[in-house]
Amino acid sequence: MTGFHVSVGETARFTKTVGESDVYLFAGITGDFAPNHVDKTYMQRSRFGRLQAHGALLVGFMSTTAGIVAGRTRASCSEETAVSLGYDRIRFTAPVFLGDTITVDYRLVAIDPARRRATAEIEIKNQEDVLVGVGTHILAWISNREA
């Protein structure tokens, strides 16, 4: 440790097979019923040939890995709560299709103890080791005491 809750180089990993129910439930929750997510006939006629997961669903999986890192610090930091400050430079570099198994790798690359923040790089790859998404994330520790 660096005297802070986390260290540069610390990692988290999440793997999941993206199922039809994941995509349809996400569409219902968000209202994003774009045909590339829910219209099989439409997508069969496209160059992709099949349904794709929502990019925002992949961001949700990024959040899962951030939560893994934050969860590791809960026992040791009763005076602070880890929260997400947001994601930057998110790119979806290849489609994720229903049935794909994705692996999200989250790696801390910078720590700013004075600002109570950590920055991570995130990569998502599919079962064929194809990079399908990237981004950066800022995790912050906020005092549990009122200001």
pLDDT digit string, tens, across residues 131-144: 999 999 999 999 88
Residue 6 falls inside a structural domain: no
Residue 124 falls inside a structural domain: yes
Q: For the residues 49-64, what does the mean pLDDT come to?
A: 97
Residue 5 falls inside a structural domain: no
Residue 64 falls inside a structural domain: yes
Percent of the chain topping pLDDT 70: 94
Angle at 59 between CA 35 and CA 74, to 5 degrees: 150
Report phi then psi at 23, rounded to 5. -70, -45
Structure tokens at 45: 């006629």
CATH (domain of 67): 3.10.129.10
Q: How confident is the prediction for the chain on average, in pLDDT?
A: 93
Residue 103 falls inside a structural domain: yes
User: Which residue segment(s) compose the domain that 106 sits in?
Assistant: 11-17+54-142
pLDDT at 76: 67
Residue 128 falls inside a structural domain: yes
Measured over the CA atoms of residue 107, residue 111, residue 113 and residue 116, the dihedral's sign is negative
Of the segments 17-31, 78-92, 133-147, which one has the largest average pLDDT value? 17-31
Residue 112 falls inside a structural domain: yes
Residue 111 falls inside a structural domain: yes
pLDDT at 22: 97
By mean pLDDT, which of 45-59, 67-81, 102-116, 120-134 is the weakest? 67-81
Measured over the CA atoms of residue 59, residue 68, residue 83 and residue 21, the dihedral's sign is positive
Residue 104 has pLDDT above 70, yes or no: yes
Specify the pTM.
0.91
Instruction: Name the band, by pLDDT with cuts 50, 70 and 90, for residue 55.
Output: very high
CA atoms within 13 A of residue 42's CA, in its CB half-sphere: 9
Q: For the residues 124-136, what does the mean pLDDT come to?
A: 98
Residue 2 has pLDDT above 70, yes or no: no
Domain count, the chain: 1
pLDDT at 72: 85
